[in-house]
Amino acid sequence: MHVTRTYAPLPFHDLDPKRFEDLCLSILYRMWRWEKIENLGRLGKDDAIDISAIELLENGKRNTWHFQCKRYKELSQSQVEGIIKDYCKRNTSRPDYYFILAGCNVSKSVRDALEEVGKKNGFHTVGIWASSELEARLYADHHDLLFAFFGINMSGERNEIISSIRRNVALKKRMHKDFAKPYEAGEDRLKRLEEPWRCFISSKVLIRSIYDKAYPTNTLLEEIGTGYYKAEIFNWYHNGLMVHTHPFAVNAIVRYLKDGADDESENPEDYIIMEERLDVIGCIPFENIIEYDMDGDEIHNYPHLYCDFAGGMDPYEKIVYYQNGYQVDEKDIVEILKEDKNETSVEQHI
């Protein structure tokens, strides 16, 4: 699992009050195709309305939106009540929507207080966008505003994401071509659907850590994130390659929904309980496959996958279970049974 980059909360309270209004206006301007939007706060006499907007609906109806921008370090119930009372004192009509844009975190009790005082004073819909909501919009959709108002440059990270996507798509196309086994004369094509591993030119791969410098004298995981092992190919999936992984198969208690029962039912009486033998499948995302060598070497002359053991022990993003070629939903696996110590299992590691 990759650790994602984190950032400190945006310092909205460090912005000049008018600059905070400009930021709010910039976010709101892009939200809808307003018929009209005005920054009344910039004009001085705003009648407790910093930003006013008119939304034109498809049926010709118009909705009025009023916003108050409060660049506070904290917002209390009494402050919210004061904001609404001040608005009512200066305005006789009520908008369709009234929102406070706050540069701080806001508790549920404060939000509830706004709802209550809003209803008492005839407002139809009221709400608060706290710093967390504003921050989420900026990071998700408005990287240019992050740079303009806070000096945070996200373009580099965006370019990294784009490069990663392009690299993974190119790798996927290349691997699908190189690993594909040509059809043989008279081959039953339906068999490939039932047994997808028949589609591969090689039934196995050698999975090698990109950090392993001791191959072929070492064993698997002499140090965390290093080593190599053989795996039998199972199939492709949307994000990469699936392989059989140790211990290859397990005994499990699995539940099956009875005919006629609701798909979402959690009633035990709606299920048949059986013990099954499930194949254990590891899913290697293209992101963790750094390169591959179809020829292998003089020791292991089949394809080698050079992988980032992102989880420390292996390159898998997840482990799934199959039974007779069909994936078993994790929620239907009641219990994975412990193997009998006297049983001999197929050896995976070399």
Residues 67 and 188 in one domain: no
Residues 227 and 281 in one domain: yes
Residues 275 and 296 in one domain: yes
Which of 153, 188, 206 lies at the terminal end of a domain, its last residue? 153
- Provide the pLDDT confidence category of residue 7 given band limits of 50, 70 and 90: low
Per-residue model confidence (pLDDT) at position 350 = 39
Q: How large is the C-alpha radius of gyration of the chain?
A: 30
Residue 311 tokens, joined? 């989880």
Per-residue model confidence (pLDDT) at position 348 = 37
User: Is residue 5, in this structure, part of any structural domain at all?
Assistant: no
Residues 112 and 171 in one domain: no
pLDDT beyond 80 at 345: no
Could you tell me the pTM of the whole model? 0.57
User: Is residue 211, in this structure, part of any structural domain at all?
Assistant: yes
pLDDT beyond 70 at 342: no
Per-residue model confidence (pLDDT) at position 5 = 55
User: Is residue 345, in this structure, part of any structural domain at all?
Assistant: no
User: Is residue 282, in this structure, part of any structural domain at all?
Assistant: yes
pLDDT beyond 80 at 343: no
Give the 3-state secondary structure of residue 243: strand
Euclidean distance between CA atoms 139 and 144, whole angstroms = 10
What digits encode the pLDDT tens for the residues 29-78?
988 889 999 998 776 666 889 999 999 988 889 999 999 999 999 999 99
Number of domains in the chain: 2
pLDDT beyond 70 at 4: no
- Provide the pLDDT confidence category of residue 224 given band limits of 50, 70 and 90: low
User: Running DSSP on this structure, what letter comes out for residue 225?
Assistant: T
Per-residue model confidence (pLDDT) at position 300 = 93
Per-residue model confidence (pLDDT) at position 220 = 64
Percent of the chain with pLDDT over 90: 63
Closest by CA position to 47, among listed 10, 15, 108, 94: 94
Domain containing 298: what range? 166-336
Residues 200 and 121 in one domain: no
Length of the chain: 350
Please report the sign of the dihedral spanned by the C-alpha atoms of residue 298, residue 302, residue 306, residue 307: negative
CATH number at 59 reads 3.40.91
Which of 121, 153, 185 lies at the terminal end of a domain, its last residue? 153
Per-residue model confidence (pLDDT) at position 6 = 56
Euclidean distance between CA atoms 82 and 91, whole angstroms = 14
Which of 96, 120, 153 lies at the terminal end of a domain, its last residue? 153
Per-residue model confidence (pLDDT) at position 223 = 60
Euclidean distance between CA atoms 123 and 94, whole angstroms = 6
Q: Over the chain, what is the mean pLDDT?
A: 88
Per-residue model confidence (pLDDT) at position 156 = 75
CB atoms closer than 10 angstroms to residue 255: 17
User: Is residue 182, in this structure, part of any structural domain at all?
Assistant: yes
Q: What is the mean pLDDT of residues 213-233?
A: 78
Q: What is the mean pLDDT of residues 301-324?
A: 91
Euclidean distance between CA atoms 154 and 141, whole angstroms = 11
Percent of the chain with pLDDT over 70: 91
User: Is residue 286, in this structure, part of any structural domain at all?
Assistant: yes
User: Is residue 126, in this structure, part of any structural domain at all?
Assistant: yes
User: Is residue 103, in this structure, part of any structural domain at all?
Assistant: yes
Closest by CA position to 105, among listed 67, 64, 133: 133
Most confident of the following: 33-42, 124-133, 337-346: 124-133
Residues forming a β-bridge with 320: 281
Per-residue model confidence (pLDDT) at position 3 = 47
Residues forming a β-bridge with 244: 281
Residues 90 and 229 in one domain: no
Residues 103 and 180 in one domain: no
Q: What is the mean pLDDT of residues 79-99?
A: 95
Q: What is the mean pLDDT of residues 16-32?
A: 92
Residues 141 and 66 in one domain: yes
Residues 89 and 206 in one domain: no
